Amino acid sequence: MQLNYLESGQGERTVILLHGLFGSASNLNALAKALAEDYRIYRVDLRNHGESFHLDTMSLKDMAGDVLRLLKHLGISEAAFVGHSLGGKVAMQFAHSWPEYVTHLVVADIAPVAYKPHHNATLAAMCGIDLRGLKSRSDADAQLAAAEEELGVRQFLLKNLARNDEGGWRWKLNLAAIDHCYDDLRQAPEGEPYTGPTLFIKGENSAYIQTSHSNAMLQQFPSHRLSVINGTGHWLHAEKPAAFNALVSGFLAGG
């Protein structure tokens, strides 16, 4: 089995883009377009997301291994990695496990630590939607509203809702596996320190990267630097794409 991916851009250098939890390969489209003149871009659907295969397990090591198989399938011997949230954790795990493949590492608004559970209500609400009785996407939105107040987040989650062959509804996500494996997804990446160039990008208003995470970041990624995008939250790449894309482009270019 191979991960689904979208390919674009040109150039000899390669960049792998990895989305966050509940996301898909299209989430980092703006960055892919910004890098397209200088790099070959692969936007990847992680397992149990988007159009990629479904399995019952999904530890960080499992998902990093999926990415390794894809690189071998594509004949890619080295690449820069950019990951947001869960994708950032997968990218960090990949860098720990197979550093020889990684030229640069960009981690967007996530730290190499274990997090407390904070998606339980959202997962319960998504799992609780009776797809057989669902009349419309608006009906699903109304059911999610009890667990998620922000319309933009609900719209993001409902991108995973699609019509089935019978005209009903289905989740493109393997929602049952994500719910079952959520504790695995919260864990920290593991392995020897990755000593290559690493950029952490924090959203100013997001709590995902905190001062208390500094030691873990330094121990696991001793050559890292941290940049903050003011006026943004966890979805920094969507809230201020120009600033985010400029930081990533400059870092990959060696600036």
**What positions carry a catalytic annotation?**
85, 234
* Interatomic CA distance for residues 33 and 179, integer angstroms: 32
Which residue has 């910004």 as its token pair? 34
DSSP 103-148: EEEEEES--SS------HHHHHHHHH--GGG---HHHHHHHHTTT-
Quote the DSSP letter at residue 251: H
Please check whether residue 164 is in contact with residue 193, taking contact to mean a CB–CB distance below 8 angstroms. no
Question: Could you tell me which residues are beta bridge partners of residue 201?
Answer: 108, 227
* Interatomic CA distance for residues 190 and 197, integer angstroms: 18
Structure tokens at 181: 């494996």
